[in-house]
Amino acid sequence: MLACLMSCAGLVTLVERKARAEIPPPADLPQMLTLDEAIREFHAHGLDLLIAEAQARAAEGQVEVAGAVPNPVGSAGWGKTINYDPGTCQECSTTYWSLGLSDSAAIEDTLSGKRGLRLKVARNALAAAKLSRTDAERTIAFQVKSAYLQVAQGVLAYKFAKEVVSSNEKTLDLFQTRFRSGAINEGDLARVVTQKLESDQALDQAVQTLRQARVELAFLLGVRGAVSDFDVDVKVLSFSQPDQLSATSEEKLLRAAFDHRPDLVAAGYQKASAEAQLALTKRQKFPDVTLSVNYTQLGTGATQSGGALSPPTITFGISAPIPVFYQLQGETRLAEAQYDQNSLQQAKTTTQVVNDVATGYAGYVVSRQLVQRMEGGGLLQSARTARDITRLQFEKGAASLTDFLDAQRTYIATNVEYFGDLTNYWTAVFQLEEAVGMELH
Start-to-end CA distance of the chain, whole Å, equals 72
**pTM for this one?**
0.82
Q: What is the pLDDT along the chain (441 residues), one digit of tens a residue?
A: 556 655 555 555 655 655 565 655 555 788 999 999 999 999 988 888 899 999 999 999 999 999 999 999 999 999 887 776 666 566 677 788 899 999 999 999 999 999 999 999 999 999 999 999 999 999 999 999 999 999 999 999 999 999 999 999 998 998 899 888 888 889 989 999 999 999 999 999 999 999 999 999 999 998 888 888 999 999 999 999 988 888 889 999 999 999 999 999 999 999 999 999 999 999 998 889 999 999 998 776 655 555 556 678 899 999 999 888 888 899 999 999 999 999 999 999 999 999 999 999 999 999 999 999 999 888 989 999 999 999 889 878 788 888 988 999 999 999 999 999 999 999 999 999 999 999 887
Q: How far apart are CA 400 and CA 409, in angstroms?
A: 15
- 8-state DSSP, 21: P
The gap from C-alpha 94 to its chain's centroid, in whole angstroms, comes to 69
Which pLDDT value is given to residue 124?
95
Q: Find, among 299, 152, 170, the residue nearest to 234 by Cα.
A: 152
Cα–chain center distance at 282: 35
- In whole angstroms, what is the distance from residue 177 CA to residue 188 CA? 12
Nearest to 35, CA basis, from 206, 227, 220? 220
Distances in whole angstroms, Cα of residue 409 to Cα of each of 133, 157, 164, 192? 48, 15, 10, 12
For residue 77, give the H/E element and its range: strand 73-80
Residue 295 near residue 317 (C-beta atoms within 8 A) = no
Beta pairing class for 93-102 and 290-300: antiparallel
Do residues 380 and 374 make contact, with C-beta atoms less than 8 angstroms apart?
yes
